[in-house]
Amino acid sequence: IPLLCRALAMSKRPLLLFASPWTAPAWMKSNGDVRGKGTLKGHAGDKYHKTWANYFIKFLDEYAKRNVTFWAVTAQNEPLAGLFTPPQAPTIAFTAAQQRDFIAQDLGPALARSPHRTQLLMLDDQRIHLPHWAKVVLGNATAARYVAGLAVHWYLDAIVPPGCSLEATHKLFPDHFLLYTEACTGFFMF
């Protein structure tokens, strides 16, 4: 928080911050651990999903008390990577349908009821999942009304051309923006 406050004070323009969760607390996960392959216990609309959505609001509340506001949050960082990560990595696995239901029943309504004007981004994973992920989530009118845009990572861009992923998704859902949110060079040693 002190570093964010310094950056905000130094910037000549407003900084648009976004946050993306890695994992819920262990007691909320199917594997009982913040690390490894696990989902949120139960199903959308239940106490675990509502509580996890409220964690987002509490996070935003606590940062706002320190004059740090967030332009956006993502529903989950790399939701499908949760199925493939090493056992020590903190994560929650979501399918597109699980993320859709969490957004429609829990996270979207919680953000809408909150005093925060924070936007919601979906996916936050490789573009290899597009346009399928967008069709599942944004194809649902309830979920779509809570989602401002799609967060995309570029680690596997060499595998999936932009035309069949980004362009196809934009054509299907032109009112939802696409934003690259995570990448690095040297991911593949070759």
- Which one is catalytic: 33, 157, 167, 182? 182
DSSP string covering 47-89: HHHHHHHHHHHHHHHHHHTTT---SEEES-SSTTGGGTS-TTS
Q: What per-residue confidence (pLDDT) applies to 187?
A: 64
Mode of pairing for the β-strands spanning 18-19 and 177-182? unpaired
Token pair for 26 = 């262990």
Q: Is 167 a catalytic residue?
A: no
Q: What per-residue confidence (pLDDT) applies to 186?
A: 67
- Which one is catalytic: 52, 78, 105, 119? 78
Whether residue 190 lies inside any domain: the answer is no
Q: What per-residue confidence (pLDDT) applies to 157?
A: 81
At 151 the three-state DSSP class reads strand
Whether residue 37 lies inside any domain: the answer is yes
Q: Is 182 a catalytic residue?
A: yes
Number of domain units in the chain: 1
Q: Is the pLDDT assigned to residue 20 strictly greater than 80?
A: yes
What residue numbers bound the domain in which 99 lies? Answer: 1-182
> What CATH number has the domain bearing residue 161?
3.20.20.80
Q: Which amino acid is at 70?
A: F
Q: Is the pLDDT assigned to residue 11 strictly greater than 80?
A: yes
Token pair for 45 = 């609309």
- Of residues 185 and 51, the one with the higher pLDDT is 51
Whether residue 26 lies inside any domain: the answer is yes
Whether residue 56 lies inside any domain: the answer is yes
Whether residue 3 lies inside any domain: the answer is yes
Question: Is the torsion defined by CA of 125, 131, 132, 138 positive or negative?
Answer: positive
Whether residue 189 lies inside any domain: the answer is no
Q: What per-residue confidence (pLDDT) applies to 154?
A: 87
Model confidence at 88, in pLDDT bands (50, 70, 90)?
confident
Whether residue 138 lies inside any domain: the answer is yes
Whether residue 188 lies inside any domain: the answer is no
pLDDT tens for 104-158 read 999 999 999 999 999 999 999 999 999 999 999 999 999 999 999 999 998 878 8
pLDDT tens for 24-83 read 999 999 999 999 889 999 999 999 999 999 999 999 999 999 999 999 999 999 998 777
